[in-house]
Amino acid sequence: MIFASEYIIQDAFMSESECGSWANNQPLALAYHSDRWCKPIHEETELFAMLCLEGQQAGLSWSTILKKEAAIRKAFDGFDINKVEAYTNEKVEELMQNPQILRNRQKICSAIKNAAAIKKLIGSGEYASFNDYIWHFTDNQQIIHHPKKLSDVAAQDELSEMISKDLKKRGFTFVGPVIIYSYLQAIGIYDDHLEDCPYKSKR
């Protein structure tokens, strides 16, 4: 994963509104806010990667995930869905010995289960891709919310609850409604930048 340049990070320090204050002046978090957060993603591998990363965040801060993100992506073969779905018990044990990632067996196994669930979803013929599945909930449209302050941004909502329930029914794990709300922001289905944020969608 290529993060923002030093110039972009410096620019973020100068131009952030309250919207980026959750980043606590941490360069990786500021770069994530300005370059990636709430920007639409449609590529299969990246949709899967962000689902796994959001699941790994459970009980932790997003800054912890960002600090380890490059190592996590490398350890999980770039979140190639076919490769992760084929992981063996030996691979799980290998990952559990990797000090650079989050050594949580449930979260590691969740990535494998979720890769298998995506393969099953596509294999059923119901949807041509995971992208088609996850974006169909909003008819392939980004939903732009209009929060004026951070306290206006929800932690979960009716849509994240519905998607969470459907994902669980299909065999996905670590996909509770709060995780899914954050995931919807991460892949740009939701734009929750504050109204005065320079990175908010202009539509």
| Active site positions, annotated | 32, 54, 62
**Residue 2: is it exposed, middle or buried by C-beta count within 10 angstroms (0-12/13-18/19+)?**
exposed
Q: How many CA atoms lie within 13 A of 29 on its CB side?
A: 14
d(CA 184, CA 178): 10
d(CA 31, CA 167): 30
Residue with tokens 């490769």: 83
Question: Which is nearest to 182 in space by CA: 52, 18, 93?
Answer: 52
